[in-house]
């Protein structure tokens, strides 16, 4: 079993032998009924998580927290997040699901265990060390990331985001650097990623009249003649830096990991009307301030160094982004390739013969947010191969950072000491692993994105 932490670090933390927490329990009855299995905790963890005043004054609760997302019904969105991922949004289209969010425009909620129903920012306000040891950041206002699934049925507007310096000075916000992981796409689908290089010298940094030239090209639409379009396939990954002119084009389903910001400067919306029948607002002056015509975005499909960082015991870890803001890795467990999450398969690969299909039920609260569930194969026991598999990878959530997990496929389950039963993952599930939770194991066969802070 692969363990993505050094033995010296594990030994120092007294966790060297804590990676495998035993065999799975049976969550089939709850899942077959369309309910989310409660993450039951045991021993000292249960005492620590008891309701009431102890929850406020006691230690931080340390267990894997399944997230229930917020939704956005932007006009360019589709229905795949509802039909393929079981996201129960209150309205269609389902353009975005904010899978892990402390942003006031759409916080996620804890969907399992003793904190079920609590908004994630409320949990971090009460226990700041859940995100980072010793509350070194002001939580939840300075929570570093926002994780989304984005379904583009139509082209998104051509747009740009500010960096930290500009956003804090003008918007009282973090900047917005982001990573796009292509979960699935139609053949021939594209992304708009910056300007074709070399860009016109009059648009370069320090060029006289640069801002006026940008405004002129944006206003008359000729900027579109310079935009670089890149054809994509599932598994591609691009770092979209602040200042890069960009757009997600039709037919692409993206997992986006970004700084915790909702600041977008729209440059071109192709003349379409918003839901109110009026043109959507443009932000040309701000865009001209922040566009960097010389920025590009490379495809980091095989890792930012062109190769995987680990390949141990059938588990492959690929470093996709390593920024000061956050780090994102793709973890492929068992036979998973990492690129094919868009196929819709959620069967738990491997021994046992049991298969499962994604099935969810809305929790009736929080404006139509959903809780993940998986149906059994109808054989009676309903135990999934993921829950009982001996294959997998162990990871360590140190006190320095939380882990954000986003499942690109089903067929996996999380095991740890504070769960009496494994937490089985469906495609598209998001889980918050608290800082300092220690060793946990992901068993089965599938792929997921792991994001933490350094």
Q: Given this model, what pLDDT does residue 217 score?
A: 94
- CA distance linking residue 346 with residue 62, whole number of Å: 28
Can you read off the two tokens belonging to residue 227? 């935009």
pLDDT in tens, 3-33: 554 333 334 334 333 333 333 333 333 333 3
Q: Is the peptide bond before 158 cis (omega within 30 degrees of 0)?
A: no
Q: What is the pLDDT of residues 91-147, one digit of tens each?
A: 999 999 999 999 999 999 999 999 999 999 999 999 999 998 765 666 777 899 999
Active site residues per annotation: 266
* β pairing state of 2-3 and 392-397: parallel
List, for residues 163-183, the tens digit of each pLDDT value: 999 999 999 999 999 999 999
The pLDDT of residue 132 is 87
pLDDT band at 2 (very low <50, low <70, confident <90, very high): low
Phi/psi class of residue 79: alpha, beta or left (left: φ > 0; alpha: ψ in -120 to 50)? alpha
DSSP string covering 93-160: -B-EEEEE---TTS--EE-SGGGTT-BHHHHHHH-GGGTSGGG-S-TTTT--EEEEEEEESSPPPEEE
Split at pLDDT 50, 70, 90, the class of 364 is very low
Domains and CATH numbers, the chain: 1-68+302-454 (2.60.120.10)
DSSP letter (8 states) at residue 361: E
Is residue 354's pLDDT more than 80? no
pTM over 0.85: no
State the pLDDT at residue 357.
29
For residue 41, pLDDT beyond 70 = no
Secondary structure (DSSP) of 186-238: -TT-EEEEEE-SSPPGGGSTT-TTHHHHHHHHHHHSGGGGGEEEEE--TT-EE
Q: In what order do the strands lie in the sheet with 227-231?
A: 227-231, 190-195, 246-248, 158-160, 265-268
Question: DSSP 3-state assignment of 50?
Answer: coil
The rounded distance, in Å, linking the Cα atoms of 401 and 452 is 6
Summarised one tens digit per residue, pLDDT across range 399-447 is: 999 999 999 999 999 999 999 899 999 999 999 999 999 999 999 999 9
Closest by CA to 193, choosing from 242, 250, 247, is 247
pLDDT of residue 59: 78
DSSP 171: T
- The more confident residue out of 250 and 88 is 250
pLDDT value at residue 133: 72
């Amino acid at each position: 079993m692969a363990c993505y932490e050094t033995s010296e670090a594990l030994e120092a933390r007294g966790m060297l032998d804590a990676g495998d927490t035993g065999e799975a329990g049976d969550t089939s009855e709850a899942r077959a009924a369309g309910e989310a299995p409660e993450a039951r905790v045991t021993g000292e963890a249960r005492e620590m998580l008891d309701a009431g005043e102890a929850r406020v004054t006691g230690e931080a609760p340390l267990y894997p927290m399944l997230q229930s997302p917020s939704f956005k019904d932007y006009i360019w969105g589709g229905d795949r997040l509802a039909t393929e991922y079981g996201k129960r949004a209150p309205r269609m289209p389902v353009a975005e699901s904010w899978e892990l969010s402390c942003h006031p425009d759409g916080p996620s909620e804890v969907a399992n265990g003793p904190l079920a129903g609590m908004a994630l920012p409320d949990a971090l306000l009460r226990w700041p060390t859940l995100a980072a040891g010793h509350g070194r950041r002001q939580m939840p206002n300075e929570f570093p990331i926002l994780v989304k699934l984005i379904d583009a049925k139509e082209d998104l507007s051509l747009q740009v985001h500010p960096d930290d310096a500009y956003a804090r000075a003008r918007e009282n916000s973090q900047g917005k650097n982001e990573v796009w992981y292509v979960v699935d796409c139609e053949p021939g689908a594209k992304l708009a990623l910056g300007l074709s290089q070399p860009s016109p010298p009059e648009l370069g940094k320090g060029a006289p009249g640069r801002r006026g030239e940008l405004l002129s090209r944006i206003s008359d639409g000729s900027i579109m003649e310079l935009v670089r379009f890149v054809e994509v396939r599932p598994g591609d990954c691009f770092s979209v830096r602040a200042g890069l002119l960009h757009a997600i084009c039709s037919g692409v389903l993206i997992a986006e990991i970004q700084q915790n910001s909702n600041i977008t400067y729209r440059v071109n919306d192709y003349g379409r009307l918003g839901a109110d029948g009026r043109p959507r607002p443009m932000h040309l002056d701000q865009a001209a301030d922040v566009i960097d015509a010389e920025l590009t975005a490379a495809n980091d499909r095989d890792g930012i160094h062109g190769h995987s960082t680990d390949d141990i015991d059938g588990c492959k870890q690929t470093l996709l982004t390593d920024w000061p803001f956050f780090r994102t890795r793709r973890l492929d467990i068992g036979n998973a390739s990492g690129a094919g999450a868009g196929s819709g398969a959620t069967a738990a690969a491997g021994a046992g013969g049991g298969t499962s299909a994604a099935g969810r039920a809305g929790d009736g609260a929080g404006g139509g947010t959903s809780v993940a569930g998986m149906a059994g194969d109808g054989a009676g026991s309903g135990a999934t191969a993921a829950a009982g598999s001996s294959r997998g990878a162990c990871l360590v959530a140190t006190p320095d950072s939380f882990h954000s997990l986003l499942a690109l496929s089903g067929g996996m389950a999380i095991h740890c000491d504070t769960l009496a039963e494994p937490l089985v993952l469906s495609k598209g599930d998001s889980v918050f692993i608290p800082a300092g939770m220690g060793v946990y194991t992901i068993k089965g066969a599938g792929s997921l994105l792991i994001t933490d802070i350094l």
